[in-house]
Amino acid sequence: MPHPKLFTPLELGGITLPNRIVVSPMCQYSAHDGSMGDWHLAHLGTFACSGAGLFVVEATGATREGRITHGCTGLYSDENEAAMARAVQLYRGITRNPIGVQIGHAGRKASSSFPWQGGKPLGAHESPWQTVAPSPIPFGEGWHVPKELSKEELKGLIDAFVVAAERAKRIGFDVVELHAAHGYLLHQFLSPLSNQRTDAYGHDRMRFPLEVARAVREVWPKERALGARINATDWVEGGWQPGDAVAFVRELKRAGLDFVCVSSGATVPHAKIPVAPGYQVGFSQKIKTETEMTTRAVGMIADPRQAEEILASGKADMVAMARALLDNPRWVWHAAERFGVAIDYPPQYARSRHDAWPGAKIARGQAK
Ligand SMILES: Cc1cc2nc3c(=O)[nH]c(=O)nc-3n(C[C@H](O)[C@H](O)[C@H](O)COP(=O)(O)O)c2cc1C
């Protein structure tokens, strides 16, 4: 059996991922005014033990108003920075594998409730806040009407992204990923469904996200890695399309970004998305082929053979997984075992290694 691509190291910017399995960013809705708490320590601890080549911390607001919910993390205060530094320190105590953070702004999708409370716009008695966007168009029926951002406010937001990236640098993250997907602020500028401005930021819809990317690139060290999560499509006629995504990625590459994660959807509530195993992988392949950018595929990837095929056939350079890794944080260990690859376990857990069990071949769960 050739050495599996999944477990082949990858150079990303100035860092090396020991394998190509990435824990996709996942909001935990458990922060206090943007600061990570005990839940995050448990969550990061779990994934520090997972063996994944990279763990990306959830969508983190560059400003307080840029959080999706009251429970989302931020990097807008010294308290946020200190709490995240504590969590990253815990992670570093368990694994040498790199860790990243996704920095974003929710724009018109901010001020909403947790998914388990409906994921709806906050009501009058739930401390809602004024949302902002390229144009005063709500995300959907019943959603807050955002305030159109002025040019001055856009400058302020670029500064906020830069300050958040500087905080991430001090914390010691290896990777920063800009959230330019899923209908959040940077993507709201890109999509004609949400950006109907008549100024320079509407004539050139890539302008604001690229200004943010260039500004962050200036402060983010070359010896670490900088990327973006992007949408390949809005899945709506008249919306953002794969050809637009190719053009955007070319510009991101020119701006010095090291990778993109290729996702889709969530720009408007009524999109019809043909969800199926690996349904976004073709977009990663297109972008990788047409731009030569390093890409990460994501979306309905759950089986180790499926993940290996995506990489071995050159459709992507990494795979990110969210739900499969939440479901089974030992996914990486088991995939390594399946492909006959030895990976580092935390020594405290080394005796769980199947090849270390007396009688492991007879039955899991019976050996002592
Ligand atoms: C609990 C949860 C939280 C998520 N939070 C984020 C997030 O913070 N940023 C982001 O870009 N995507 C987020 N996503 C989307 C995932 O990163 C991923 O793109 C999506 O779930 C598809 O991958 P999967 O099929 O492996 O779950 C989240 C998904 C889940 C399940």
What digits encode the pLDDT tens for the residues 203-236? 999 999 999 999 999 999 999 999 999 999 999 9
The DSSP letter of residue 149 is P
**Distance from the CA of 217 to the center of ligand 1, in angstroms?**
24
The predicted pLDDT at position 344 comes to 86
Q: Residue 133 in contact with residue 185, Cβ under 8 Å?
A: yes
Work out which ligand 1 atom sits closest to the CA atom of 58: 8
Residues with CB under 6 A from ligand 1: 24-27, 58-59, 102, 179, 181-182, 229, 263, 298-301, 321-324
Is 184 in the active site? yes
Residue where the block lists tokens 């794969």 = 242
**Distance from the CA of 59 to the center of ligand 1, in angstroms?**
9
- Which tens digits make up the pLDDT trace of 277-291? 999 999 999 999 999
Buried b (16+ CB within 10 A) or exposed e, 178-215: bbbbbbbbbbbbbbbbbbebeeebbeebbbbbbbbbbb
How many helices (DSSP H) and strands (DSSP E) are in the chain? 11, 12
Spatial separation of the C-alpha atoms in residues 118 and 131, rounded to whole Å: 19
The predicted pLDDT at position 368 comes to 38
- Which tens digits make up the pLDDT trace of 314-353? 999 999 999 999 999 999 999 999 999 999 889 999 888 8
Spatial separation of the C-alpha atoms in residues 59 and 62, rounded to whole Å: 9
The predicted pLDDT at position 360 comes to 60
Conformational region of residue 119, where left means phi above 0, alpha means psi within -120 to 50, and beta covers everything else: left
What does the pLDDT average to over 139-152?
Answer: 98
Query: Which residue among 29, 91, 184, 201 is the active-site one?
Result: 184
> Of 310, 305, 299, 309, which is closest to residue 277 (Cα–Cα)?
299
**Distance from the CA of 298 to the center of ligand 1, in angstroms?**
9
DSSP string, 52-108: -SEEEEEEEESSSTT-SSTT--B-SSHHHHHHHHHHHHHHHTT--S-EEEEEE--GG
Residues 6+ apart with CB under 8 A from 39: 28, 30
What does the pLDDT average to over 152-178?
Answer: 98
Say yes or no to pLDDT of 294 above 80: yes
Would you give the distance in Å from CA 308 to the centre of its chain? 21
For ligand 1, mutation pick of 26, 187, 231 (most atoms within 8 Å of CB): 26
The predicted pLDDT at position 72 comes to 98
Residue 81: both structure tokens together: 């920075």
Q: What percentage of the chain carries pLDDT values higher than 90?
A: 94
Q: Is 364 exposed, middle or buried (0-12, 13-18, 19+ CB in 10 A)?
A: exposed
